[in-house]
Amino acid sequence: MAATTLETSADHLALQLAYEPAVIELREARAALDSDTEARSLVERYQQTHLELATKQRAGDVLTDEQISVFQGLQASIQSHPTIRRLVEAEQDATAMLTAVAAEIDEHAGIDFTRLAARGGC
């Protein structure tokens, strides 16, 4: 197969994937998160708290019950927030769909495309 034919096939696959319902939902869920200031603020607070607590632990500090409780409260808020839940579910659905596509490529190419593509260089 000539490189241009392969590139054309890859372009066609990418275009088809862009119109898959799981990919469309993922884009829409990301856009919903981007426009939801409450959800974005919650994610930022969670990430900042996680970073602060991880830094303390690496420094050898013991986390207080209050710090752990605050972090767990943020986790619970994130897990129950509808916009964030939508994004997580959309990511899971898109990952499942792309895994199935990679398995098809593996089968047709006769190689483990996923593992080969994951390698970082020589």
Domain spans, the chain: 40-80, 82-112
**Mean pLDDT of all residues in 63-79:** 97
- Using pLDDT thresholds of 50, 70 and 90, give the confidence band for residue 66: very high
Distances from the Cα of 34 to the Cα of 43, 44, 46, 87, 89, angstroms: 11, 12, 16, 11, 16
Q: Euclidean distance between the first and final Cα of the chain, in Å?
A: 24
The better pLDDT of the pair 36, 7 is held by 36
With a threshold of 0.85, does the pTM exceed it?
Answer: no
pLDDT tens readout for residues 80-96? 999 999 999 999 999 99
**In degrees, to the nearest 5, what angle opens at C-alpha 100 toward C-alphas 117 and 21?**
115
- Residues constituting the chain: 122
**In degrees, to the nearest 5, what angle opens at C-alpha 109 toward C-alphas 104 and 113?**
70
Task: With beta carbons less than 8 A apart as the criterion, state whether 84 and 43 touch.
Answer: yes
106 pLDDT higher than 90 = no
pLDDT tens readout for residues 23-33? 999 999 999 99
